[in-house]
Chain A
Amino acid sequence: MAKPDPQRQPGTRLLLLAWLLLGPCVARAQQTVAQSAARIDGDLAAIARTSAQTDKRQLGASVAQHVARLKEQSIMVFGDRRTQLGEKLRELIRSCDEWRSGAPDEARAAAGRAQELWADAKSLYPREALQLLPPLWSCQMHQELMQPTAGSCPICGMLLEPIYVTQPGLTEGPIIGAAVIADAPLQVGKRADLRIRLFFLDNGQPVSPADLEETHTRKIHLLISDITETDYHHEHPEPVGDGEYAFSFTPLRPDTYRVWADLLPARTSVQQYSVADIASSTPRRARLSKNEAENRRAEIDGYGFELSFEKDVIQERDTVAARLRVTEPDGRPCRKLGVVMGAFGHFVGVGDDFATVLHLHPTGPLISDPDARSGPELPFYFRSNKSGLFRLFAQVKIEGRDFFPRFVIHVRPRPSADTRSAEGRSRAARGGRHPDLSGSGIAVCDGNLIAAVLPAGDPASCSAPSCCAKHHSPGRRPSFGCWQAGSRRAGYVSREGRRCYSGARHIQSSVSSSTVGPRARRSRSPLERSP
């Protein structure tokens, strides 16, 4: 029989190559040092109680395999200890070989030696390296929280998400896909009856209600928005069989609508969003405004809705305590907020990428009494891991009617390490200290003078908190623009960015009302002059 020529079998070669490349990665992902150590423990225990039926060859091979894997994974042992570990493990394998091939007395002695060597080898590891890391869950608002099981955050009530390094079996992406089935395109002002089909992405099987867990009294929350993020709906579809769920809503805009299905698969207990679009009968006319002004107030039929945050500036990955205050048409505090899906309110934020979505709830436990009332303030936590504009829709119920006030929140990017490093160099070079200057709304002058100016009508936009906090109270509009100075010269700018004092002539040239805001960052930076 002719020997197969590997050069003529590219498929085989590719498979072999893939195995060679991916094999170690798969093994690495599946096995930790603690797991390998536990298996060696088990194998050595079996060796210690050897009987006539024991398959010595198989057991010896198992020890050798797990020791090899352990050695490869032991990234936490280095220097002299790694040398010692290597020696101990080599001797351990030798003892196992002696146990396998030796006479009964020699085998017993070799088994004892193997146990001792293994105990010595384990003592070279850091304390926690041989302990299996338990599955842990945390709150996206409160990163410091680590719970052993899935559930809700005891501080804010948000659903916990897995700490993935402790549960490598869970994937961060969605495991359920969605598609909207429409008999006809959407028409403005006309109720649309639609179905959403949910299916598992790995095998295409339909998702039944039993595959989902309930969150806030419902198994499926559909968050629906048009592309301008103006017309928002929150619907709960009903199952109609074969992984399909029926829902309806009346679009108020002639645009494409997007549906985010907020789901909690029973398989993972990890909250996920499955996204699907609904086409409109009219061509898309509107575009998402990237430069919409921040807006924290809304009014619907006389009812006032006002958002406030504990920090003036909201940065990405920053958990910020927030409140929604509701007032009656006559200005009195509204204490009639009813229960909507187990809470006195819901908040849904849609990012300016028309993809990121936040689903937030007021703090506190689920409300089981449907007649309970609250108000005028709803405390909640806000956090976005992404910067940009967020259209935040609140949903509250007043006297049986749902209200959806719309707000616009600006989440600013975090200063990059580069910016901080450059700032640090600059600071050292000048011998002075300056606030962090990244973020919009900051105007930068020349090397000796830095001015941060708040754009008119936006008291919260200065991202130099270490500077600003000293000059105005959080939540209050400062009497003049925030400022900062070098070691020898100083100045400040009026809120409108038109005046300068103290001989700071450079401010006048680089800061004007037109350069305040993102363009202001293009001003010549003192950091560029740093060595």
Chain B
Amino acid sequence: MKLLLRELCVFCLGAALSIQAALGCDVSDDSNFARAAALAKSTNRPLLLAFLGTDWSISSLKLDREVFDQTDFADNSKYDFVLCKLHFYQTRQRSPEIVRQNEELATKYKVQEFPTVIVLSPDGRELGRLGYIPGGVKAFAAAATALVGTAGR
């Protein structure tokens, strides 16, 4: 009986915690944009579109290395976003399809500066936009989360 009770407790605790568990941030790049957008929609998570001047904008480089490349951002279940990095390279040849796609997105969202991170609701509504924020993963994720929270995800 005692054993049964213990198991029941473990079961209930587990069931409760399982609802809390999350994946962390899904990070992909511009070659997977369509998939990232579909994933955000199907999993009801905010989509972050990051426009990065990867080889010419130092702020983009900082944002990428200080936040997006950090395992804490990708693995921490607190950061429940889908991130798609859109690279604007000067010194690297990209496929024309990717270049066109990135330009169309940048035009659609009226991107003026790099980096610009457009925070979108799962259904594609713009909730706000962010740039480089000093302070690493925590500072950036807090700003993104605040945007999502304010917009009443």
Contacts and interface: CB of A to CB of B under 8 A. Distances in A.
A34 B91 contact: no
B26 A165 contact: no
A317 B11 CA distance: 35
Contacts of A75: 88-90, 99, 103
B19 interface: yes
B107 A485 contact: no
B11 A502 contact: yes
A166 B61 contact: yes
Interface string B39-50: 100111100000
B91 A32 contact: yes
A433 B44 contact: no
A21 to B, nearest CB: 11
A268 to B, nearest CB: 18
B74 to A, nearest CB: 8
Contacts of B95: none
A484 B103 CA distance: 42
Given A28-B93, A33-B56, A76-B114, A428 B42 contact: yes
B136 interface: yes
Contacts of B10: 492, 501
A420 interface: yes
Contact of A491 (B11, B62, B107, B112): B11
A interface bracket (residues with beta carbon within 8 Å of B) = 35 or more
Contacts of A127: 113
B92 to A, nearest CB: 8
B59 interface: yes
Contact of A79 (B59, B65, B106, B113): B106
A427 B43 contact: yes
Interface string A430-442: 0011111000000
Max count, chain B CB within 10 A of own CB: residue among A144, A318, A486, A491: A144
Interface in A466-500: 466-467, 470-471, 483-487, 490-492
Interface stretch (A128-136, A197-205, A293-301, A338-346): A128-136
Contacts of A131: 58
A143 interface: yes
Nearest to B106: A78
Interface in A44-84: 73, 75-76, 78-79
B5 interface: no
A317 B71 CA distance: 8
B89 A467 contact: no
A428 B56 contact: no
Contacts, number: 158
Contact of B21 (A76, A434, A490, A501): A434
Contacts of A165: 54-55, 61, 91
Interface string A239-265: 000000000000000000000000000
B61 A490 contact: no
Interface string B50-73: 000111111111100110011100
A163 B66 contact: no
A142 to B, nearest CB: 9
B55 A424 contact: no
Nearest to A470: B17
Given A165-B61, A424-B23, A73 B106 contact: no
A122 to B, nearest CB: 14
B75 interface: yes
Interface in B102-143: 103, 106-107, 110, 112-114, 136
Contacts of B153: none
Interface in B82-103: 88-91, 93, 99, 103
A471 B17 CA distance: 9
Contacts of B23: 420, 423-424, 427, 433, 435-436, 466
A133 B42 CA distance: 39
Interface in A402-435: 417, 420-421, 423-425, 427-428, 432-435
Contacts of B112: 126
Given A29-B91, A492-B14, A428 B24 contact: no
B27 to A, nearest CB: 8
Contact of A466 (B24, B58, B65, B99): B24
B32 A79 contact: no
B1 interface: no
16 contacts: A28-B90, A73-B90, A76-B90, A78-B103, A126-B114, A133-B56, A166-B55, A417-B32, A427-B43, A428-B44, A435-B23, A436-B23, A465-B75, A484-B18, A485-B14, A485-B15
The 8 closest A-B pairs by CB, nearest first: A79-B107, A165-B55, A424-B43, A466-B77, A144-B66, A128-B57, A78-B103, A490-B15
Interface of B: 7, 10-11, 14-15, 17-24, 26-28, 32, 35, 39, 42-45, 53-62, 65-66, 69-71, 75, 77, 88-91, 93, 99, 103, 106-107, 110, 112-114, 136
Given A126-B113, A502-B7, 11 more contacts: A143-B65, A165-B54, A424-B23, A424-B39, A428-B44, A433-B21, A466-B21, A466-B24, A490-B18, A492-B10, A501-B10
